Chain A
Amino acid sequence: MSATSGVSPAPAVIAVENVTIAYGDNVVQKDVSFEVRRGEVFVILGGSGCGKSSLLKNMIGLYRPVTGRILFDGEDIVTAEGEDRLRLLRKFGVMYQSGALFGSMNVLENVRLPLDEFTDLGAEEKDLVAAAKLNQVGLLPAAARKPSALSGGMQKRAGIARAMALDPGILFLDEPSAGLDPINSAGLDQTIRELSRGLGITFVVVTHELQSIYAIADRCIMLDARTKTMIAEGKPAELRDHATDPYVRQFFLRQAEPAADDGSKGSRTS
């Protein structure tokens, strides 16, 4: 680890301890440990194929790590089963890369679904709450539309609104900026910022969009595909300026990989 931030005022809500992720014999990441603190925007970054999304899917309990523990307020989601697991799942919401909205329902119904399933609210209250969620992400005018009639950015916003339906304390976002134009991407960053500041929601965001990282991240970790380990942890600006690992600096300075065999590509800053 090349840099770590010093003070930790807020308590940890998620603790990832010595997690190793593998698909069969193919080890994706070894011995990853870090903590996510309450109320912060925590970014998991790294190059393509380094296991960011795999780590996220382990954290949200979709996959089981080969070794290690993933604790939410001290409870391990890896071993939790039945009611315990359901209770842990209720602590967070997830926005998937594609939005993962249910195509047969309109946007409002998508957001209302968790409320229908897990609350005793009346039908009108559920509509109200779902409408408020959509309003929070600026999507109320599109409430009656089907997901297929939404743009990519709108689908992601709707995905966030659905993830927030039950007011979880933690939101996981998988590649929120991927495939969005700069204006939409900045708008989404702003939404994340507002939700984090205004509501104190803890965010765990997987991304490799540099501008997004600078705009939203309180702290981040970086995974490396070559060493299959976590190579950095800290604030983005610290990592950019003080990281000792050349790959981390290269990532933050957006430099191309130096060509190994011939010098034709070179090192290029774009």
Chain B
Amino acid sequence: MSVSRPSPDSAETPVRVELRPGSGGVSVLAVSGRLDVSTAAEARDVALEHLAGFRGAALEVDASGIERGDVSGLSLIYELAEGRLARGVRAKVTGLRPELAHLLAAFPTEEAFAALEAAPPTGPFLAEIGAATRSMFLDVRAQAMFIGAVVQGFAAALRRPRLMRWREVGVVFEKAGVNALPIVSLISLLMGLVIAFEAAQPLEMFGAQIFIADMIGLVMVREFSPIFTAIILAGRSGAAFAAEIGTMKVNEELDALETMGLDPVRFLVIQRIFAATLLMPVLTAYSMLVGVFGGVLVMLTMGFPLAQIWAQLHGALGVHDVLVGAGKSLVFGAIVSGLGCLRGMQTKEGPNAVGDSTTRAVVAGILMIIVVDAVFAVVTYVLNI
């Protein structure tokens, strides 16, 4: 019985697999033609068809007819020899040309291959919890040490302002501040519009649409402007800080700074934190203006005169509201930029390391913005400001 199929790449030398009875009850599987990566799969299919009802005691593979072969093709011979295909009967391979025998020898032993496929052992559950907890505490410790190093760096810069690399501060102002204006404008304007529209319907039921002005003012100034500006900062600049410093870490630039006697925190971190912290209140104030402007636009379309809207806003908003919003943004700026730099400095080895640091910087930044905002909400409520 014989089956052969031409391969698309080898019309001239198809692979042939034949099963014939041999002497002494040994069945012979003759493989011939071209047994390579393009014919391996079909050769295997044909061999499996032949061996499906195999009941013999011994099997011999006659490989003398193989004209061309490679490792992919020889995987069939290997599987036959190892008894993987014919009910555990290990075939005896004969007639294999020396160069192909050389290739066949490259296949690992059954034990080595089995060891390869075994799943890596995982530690006991409790040990994993322990390791995770330990890593959490280590992270808190690293953050505390980082805060200490940053404070130390700022103190040194205050004593000797020349130590601060002012050009770098300017660059951060431009990248994180000026370049962020378009997206801050768009998001703030849309937030103002959305709040006004959403508030209009329920307030209309009470004939109290004029209070949209109060809502826009308080919500934008005290909450949304600081939070959204901080989230934009986390996404744009926190991520950028982590990626920049992370890439420097991977390229051993941080090591180079250390060995030159330069403190990476003073050299790279404090400029970024200083600039980001200072520009956040400015960006936030801008966002407040644009957001309120968006709400006012909606109210104007509803027919409220500008003077009435202005008077309402004036009555609802105090300087302390603006100060609360600006104060929050100051803290958000420090946290987001600090976390970005810290994650960058904590970058590990490997190709994914910078990406991981960037993700961690953004996630931790946004999480901390919300947590700190909640703390602010409680404190300002208790202090009645």
Cβ–Cβ < 8 Å partners of A125 in chain B: 40-41, 44, 72, 75-76, 79
- Please report the C-alpha to C-alpha distance between residue A70 and residue B99 in the assembled complex, in whole angstroms: 30
B301 contacts partner chain A, Cβ-Cβ < 8 Å: no
- Pick the residue among A108, A127, A132, A166 that contacts B106 (CB under 8 A): A132
A129 contacts partner chain B, Cβ-Cβ < 8 Å: yes
Interface string of A101-140 (1 = CB under 8 A from B): 0011000100000010011111001011101110110001
Give chain A nearest CB distance to B72 CB in angstroms: 5
Cβ–Cβ < 8 Å partners of A167 in chain B: 36-37, 70-72
Interface residues on A, range: 20 to 34
Interface string of A137-172 (1 = CB under 8 A from B): 000100110111000000000000000101100000
Cβ–Cβ < 8 Å partners of B44 in chain A: 121-122, 125
A62 contacts partner chain B, Cβ-Cβ < 8 Å: no
Asked, given contacts A119-B40, A167-B36, A167-B37, whether A140 binds B112 with beta carbons under 8 Å apart, the answer is yes
Q: Is the CB of B78 within 8 A of A128?
A: yes
- Please report the C-alpha to C-alpha distance between residue A166 and residue B112 in the assembled complex, in whole angstroms: 22
Interface string of B1-39 (1 = CB under 8 A from A): 000000000000000000000000000000000001100
Complex: chain B residue closest to A114, CB-CB = B37
- Please report the C-alpha to C-alpha distance between residue A104 and residue B99 in the assembled complex, in whole angstroms: 35
Give chain B nearest CB distance to A113 CB in angstroms: 14
Which residue, of A103, A125, A143, A198, has the highest number of chain B Cβ atoms within 10 A? A125
Q: Is the CB of A129 within 8 A of B71?
A: yes
Q: Is the CB of A148 within 8 A of B350?
A: yes
A68 contacts partner chain B, Cβ-Cβ < 8 Å: no
Cβ–Cβ < 8 Å partners of B124 in chain A: none
Cβ–Cβ < 8 Å partners of A133 in chain B: 71, 106
Q: Is the CB of A108 within 8 A of B116?
A: yes
Q: Is the CB of A119 within 8 A of B72?
A: yes
Q: Is the CB of A199 within 8 A of B103?
A: yes
Q: Is the CB of A131 within 8 A of B116?
A: yes
Asked, given contacts A103-B351, A167-B70, whether A128 binds B41 with beta carbons under 8 Å apart, the answer is no
Q: Is the CB of B352 within 8 A of A121?
A: no
- Pick the residue among A103, A118, A127, A140 that contacts B117 (CB under 8 A): A127
Q: List 7 A-B contacts (CB under 8 A).
A: A103-B352, A104-B352, A125-B41, A125-B44, A125-B79, A167-B37, A167-B71
9 additional contacts (CB under 8 A) given A135-B108, A146-B350 = A103-B352, A121-B41, A121-B72, A122-B41, A128-B79, A131-B112, A131-B113, A136-B106, A198-B103
Interface set of B (CB-CB < 8 Å, partner A):
36-37, 40-42, 44, 70-72, 74-76, 78-79, 99, 102-103, 106-108, 112-113, 116-117, 120, 349-352
